[in-house]
Amino acid sequence: MKILSPDDRIPGDGIEFVPQEDGDGEGGGEVHIVPKTSVIKKTWKEKVVNVFNRGTPSEEFPPPNYNVHVFYYTWYGNPHFNGKYIHWNHPLLPHWNPKIVPEYATGMHMPPDDIGASFYPALGPYSSRDPSVIEAHMQQLRTAAIGVLAVSWYPPGMKDDNGEPTEGIVPLILEVASKYKVKVVFHIEPYKGRDDKSMLDNIKYIIDKYGDHPAFFRYKSNSGKLLPLFYIYDSYLQSPAIWSQLLKSTGTRSVRNTAYDGIFIALLVEEKHKHEVLSSGFDGIYTYFATNSFSYGSTQRNWRSIKAFCDSNNLIFIPSVGPGYIDTSIRPWNGQNTRNRINGRYYETSLRAALETRPEIISVTSFNEWHEGTQIETAIPKTRGQTAYLDYLPYKPTVFFQPRQGDGTYTEKTIQDIYKTGPNEDSNVFNSS
């Protein structure tokens, strides 16, 4: 099985990031208060859109790297496509301690200028149903050399607490992904009533409906089979006794050695979950959270020992890296978990820590989880009243796609150095032919 290596996959200490060419702004992307009269040049958004207005997918992008997966959310809506704003108007969530609740603001955000995020998207408060948005997202992914989209997924008719059902968007995502040679996996959310029976229904539904699509991702297992891969968010909410009914060959609803077998990846939060993952019958673990030290699994200094545990037990380790974290726009009391982007250095450090473990796959948290400030999607400067959203200045909105080396040049090879040179579309690791 091909693995990632830190020695020849990432540049040396001289990595820099591409500066904004025309000096449209100053600062390092931190919170900054600006006069109410300040105006952000509207050419910013025009430039961002034009960066990805390439015409046809046949025009050159870096090769897609199918060992790099990115978590993707389809819960956004706006009046044009959905009749109202969805998720951009996210409520301010109360603290779990009733004594602390009165200390913080409550209410809802009011788009389009006031959104539930600390950064502002270059595409504006978009709808996940907008075909042009999905197209732009695929182009951004290809610019970053990311090959696999891990789509947040609820069963038909189900949704998160602040959204609406989104399963109907999947066919469009697959079609556009295929156009750009991007693959899709499913990141199954912890919906109400999730258990071995409902999960078996979910797996059958996904494989029966989407399994033959050219964008449907399959991973070569240790047995040599090409199997679908599923991320299971908050997998610890169900006991090993439940999961083993589905994931062990002796289970009453076992998918093993059937048409619905797969690679099932559990979320590792606490250290004890390592052993629960093993007894459940999972095939691997991922860490998801972009906040270093937030959990045992997301603490980068633990990754070597986690990888050793996985190697000893024939599990896949998928560390999750991210550009930073800030969710105070929806959890105003959670500032202790903020992780500054440090002009891209936080992301670089996270990538290095992951690569040092020599994993088979790296996951990125996230492409567009705007509420938690983990997005690598393009963002632009914007003011709201006398307060400015965070931004990527003094660098380009594409900074998290196009890192460069210290000699001032950046090439497709450099992008692949950051994200690892792995099997391309023609590799038999990802194709049955």
Supply the DSSP string of 361-397, one letter for each residue. -EEES-SS-GGGT---S-B---EETTEE-B--TTB-T
Instruction: Give the pLDDT of residue 386.
Output: 82
Cα(66)–Cα(428) distance, rounded to whole angstroms? Answer: 12
Instruction: Give the pLDDT of residue 223.
Output: 86
pLDDT tens, residue by residue, 195-224: 999 999 999 999 999 999 999 999 998 889
- Residue 196 near residue 243 (C-beta atoms within 8 A): yes
pLDDT tier, 241 (very low <50, low <70, confident <90, very high otherwise): very high
Instruction: Give the pLDDT of residue 423.
Output: 37
pLDDT tier, 291 (very low <50, low <70, confident <90, very high otherwise): very high
Give the pairing of strands 218-220 and 226-232: antiparallel
Cα(349)–Cα(353) distance, rounded to whole angstroms? Answer: 6
pTM > 0.75: yes
Instruction: Give the pLDDT of residue 217.
Output: 99
List b or e across 340-374, with b for residues whose CB sees 16 or more CB atoms inside 10 angstroms: ebebbebbbebbbbbbbbbbbbbbbbbbbbbbbbb
Q: Looking at this protein, which amino acid is placed at residue 399?
A: V
pLDDT tens, residue by residue, 303-321: 999 999 999 999 999 999 9
pLDDT greater than 60 at residue 407 = no
**Number of Cα atoms under 13 Å in the Cβ half of residue 338:** 19
Instruction: Give the pLDDT of residue 401.
Output: 87
pLDDT tier, 425 (very low <50, low <70, confident <90, very high otherwise): very low
Complete domains list, the chain, with CATH: 16-419 (3.20.20.80)
What angle, rounded to 10 degrees, do the helices at 196-210 and 240-247 form? Answer: 40
Q: Give whichever of 9-13, 37-41, 57-61, 160-164 has the largest mean pLDDT.
A: 160-164
Mean pLDDT of the chain: 84
Q: Which of 334, 369, 333 is nearest to 162 (CA)?
A: 369
Residue-wise DSSP of 181-237: T-EEEEEE---TT-SHHHHHHHHHHHHHHHTTSTTB-EEE-TTS-EEEEEEETTGGG
**Strand, coil or helix: what is 17?**
strand
Instruction: Give the pLDDT of residue 402.
Output: 66
Which residue(s) pair with 16 in the sheet? 404
Tracing tokens 């800030």 back to the chain, one arrives at 326
